[in-house]
Structure 1
Amino acid sequence: MGSATRRWFYLLGCIMLINLVNADFEFQKGVLASVSPGITEDIDLQCWNACSLTLIDLKELKIEHNVDAFWNFMLFLQKSQRPGHYTVFLNIAQDFWDMYIDCLLSRSHGMGRRQVTPSKYSFP
């Protein structure tokens, strides 16, 4: 039974090595550093832009007030060798992600599009 178990481990090891050799590591190198084809199709640009500009205001960042400047700043923080910069990057990225998801949920559930309509019935 020991040799059968060993064969399974060898087989699993070989399968893992083959998968590693054939893996596409472009995506793992960093979503911000290199946007893979197909990712940009799934982004809601209205939420993306609104959240980016809102974070510039909320964090009082000393950069131009546009989306490209914000993401260039985020790339700088992500790739910086200083540990403090990466910590700031993680905090801002988490805040962005929370805001972006809230925006997507509100848009998909129609919370931002609801209008108050006059009621047919008047209640005292």
Structure 2
Amino acid sequence: MPRKQTVVSPRRRERKARAQDPAVRKAKYALGQVVRHRIYAFRGVVFDIDPVFSNTEDWYEAIPVESRPVKDQPFYHLLAENADTEYIAYVSEQNLLPDESGEPLRHPQIDDYFVEDENGRYHAVFIQPH
């Protein structure tokens, strides 16, 4: 019986190839880790990681040249918040620091992705243990 072929999008194929490149660094931060931006006053919890830049060129070009991050580093999807609002952020590793404030996050989507343990750490609910 012939094997069924899986269709893989070109973007996913490129992303997988770049992730397997030995020059690509391992992510410094993990799913569920709370981080803060090193320049701007916002923090958030990591809910996805791209091994290298995987957003649109329009998004990248909108960043001022003098502060534009390099693409060949991990980029993090955050459930982010600042003093005024909650949102989704896409941030390069070079612009993040660990958040050690111990303050809880208020982002309304946290419960969709994580459970919080008694120590205030977030554990992904979408990852099944093996």
Q: TM-score, normalized by length of structure 2?
A: 0.23
TM-score of the superposed pair, with normalisation by structure 1: 0.23
Q: Which has the higher contact order (CA 8 A, sep 6+)?
A: 2
* Structure number with higher helix proportion: 1
